Structure 1
Amino acid sequence: MIAELRRRAYLSAMQVASWLPRVDLPFAAPSRPELLAPPEPEQPADEAPTVQALREGVAPAPAAPAAERPKIEVPKPAATARNARPEVAEAADDKPGATRAAAVPPPRFALQLLRAGDCAVLVELPTGEPLQGRDPAYLLLKDLLRAAGLPDSPHTIGEPVRWPLLVRGNMDQGPQAALEFVQSFVAARLEEQAPCACLWLVGLPAVRFAGEADAEAYNRELQVEGLGAAWALPGLELLMDEPQRKRELWQAMRRVRQRWTSGAQ
């Protein structure tokens, strides 16, 4: 009995499920008869009824037609793209190789609105801080106002406009947003004042974001919707760095100054 248990342990260790000895083993249990019968050859499932019918002399019944597989409608790529959710489309843009429009950095400038007689002056602040009494840029502005026949001590209207408004956040602060904000700010402040004969736009940021023009408009008159008549001037620092520009400015001033001097005469 001990030898039989040891043999079973060996066979179990070798993962042998069933075995037949070639000779009679001492102290072995008798073999089961069903294990000694030779196994019948396996037949394919679809041929088994046919072979059995031929053996019995009966014609095999025709095979039943195979059940038709259900059709699966696959959406067309074009329809899928049209019906795709926005967030899915945005996720596709984040994949490597997808082309996305580069974000435009917000412009940076500082503007101050002043009032000098019948004219309003939107001037670029070269240092970003309000103009002081002894600043070279402020002294140049006073010279321009005197030459134009206007008071040379303008008073400020509101706080300076510094762009971008926010250092952080998701608010749009691109060029178009800056233009809309500056025009709205100037229009609101001018409505609080006496009627303005002409709006001076001094410096490229003032010309661009209030007058919707560029440097090509320097020394020219503009008609700005919502703001009325305007005059575009180079920036104070640019006039100091390039004194030759002053001659063209003086010539243009003689043509434009009739806007604010005709009513005073």
Structure 2
Amino acid sequence: MDLPFAAPSRPELLAPLPVEELEDTPTVAAPSAAVASTAAPAAAPADANPTASLRARIEVPRPGSAPRLAVQPEAEPEAEPVQAKVELVPPPRFSLQLLRAGSCLLLVELPTGEPFQSRDPAYLLLKDLLRAAGLPDSPQILGEPVRWPLLAGGSLDQGPDAARDFLQGFVGARLEESGACACLWLVGLPAVRFAGEADAGAYNRELQVEGLGAAWALPGLELLMDEPERKGELWHAMRRVMRRWKNAE
């Protein structure tokens, strides 16, 4: 019913508020975490369920299971000390014949390993060398040939050092038995190496060997036959060395 003299009503005032205006309505904020922590007592609250907390800390073994034992790693065995390997040097192989021609001794390599025969080319060449040197061309044989190694097997040391010691001892003993020697001819590499303690670089040179005296190193007879050009240098060297046995006469 309309009231007399009343202002006309506005229907929009009776309409419900729009949603936007409801959202602008201030709300009471929940206390912040900082305020809550300030309001809480200093001591931490007790667990609501202490039995559950204790059960969480104690591991209860399941029925039928056995407790595991800690497995200790096995200690590695100590490594055995490594022994240095000794390199075995094969024994040298040679055959040498000791002869005497005048005031000289000759330690000569046997090309075939067997004693000289009168018609052997190597022996005929040796006779030529002796004649050129002014020495008797029919040398005297002193003992059996020296063949190395001495034994076919066994534990006896037959390396290069043993060969040198044996050969020098053998020649030294023959020198004492046969008297003075003006010069020792070392003919062939085995004689030069194991009696004269030199190598092929000493060919045609004079050596001074302890215990054996003055020596002269020559190429082997077989090498002189295979390489005749070596004879020229040998003849020149012989002229220089001849004074040793020429003065001894």
Query: What's the TM-score, normalizing by structure 1?
Result: 0.63
Match for 1:196 among 177, 181, 184?
Answer: 181
SS in 1 for 2:157: coil
Query: What's the TM-score, normalizing by structure 2?
Result: 0.67
Question: Structure 2 regions of 5+ residues with no counterpart?
Answer: 1-77
The answer as to 2:168 corresponding to 1:183 is: yes
Question: Structure 1 regions of 5+ residues with no counterpart?
Answer: 1-76, 82-87, 94-98
SS in 2 for 1:178: helix
The AA in structure 2 aligned to 1:183 is Q
Residues in 2 aligned to 1:162 and 1:182: alpha-carbon distance in whole angstroms = 10
Residues in 2 aligned to 1:212 and 1:263: alpha-carbon distance in whole angstroms = 25
1:259 equivalent in structure 2: 244
How far residue 168 of structure 1 moved from its aligned partner, in angstroms, is 1.1
2:133–2:238: 8 Å Cα contact kept in structure 1? yes
1:171 equivalent in structure 2: 156
The answer as to 2:185 corresponding to 1:162 is: no
How much identity, in percent, do the aligned residues show? 76
2:9 equivalent in structure 1: none
The AA in structure 1 aligned to 2:87 is A
Deviations, residues 7-48 of structure 1 (Å, cap 9, x unaligned): xxxxxxxxxxxxxxxxxxxxxxxxxxxxxxxxxxxxxxxxxx
The answer as to 2:231 corresponding to 1:246 is: yes
SS in 2 for 1:262: helix
2:113 equivalent in structure 1: 128
The answer as to 2:214 corresponding to 1:207 is: no
The answer as to 2:87 corresponding to 1:102 is: yes
2:103–2:248: 8 Å Cα contact kept in structure 1? no
Larger Rg: 2
Residues in 1 aligned to 2:217 and 2:186: alpha-carbon distance in whole angstroms = 5
RMSD, matched Cα: 1.5
SS in 2 for 1:138: helix
- Which portions of structure 1, spanning 4 or more consecutive aligned residues, are displaced by more than 4 angstroms? none
2:31 equivalent in structure 1: none
The AA in structure 2 aligned to 1:136 is P
How far residue 101 of structure 1 moved from its aligned partner, in angstroms, is 3.4
How far residue 174 of structure 1 moved from its aligned partner, in angstroms, is 0.3
Residues in 2 aligned to 1:263 and 1:234: alpha-carbon distance in whole angstroms = 24
Structure with the bigger RCO (C-alpha within 8 Å, sep 6+) is: 2
Question: What is the number of residues matched between the two proteins?
Answer: 172
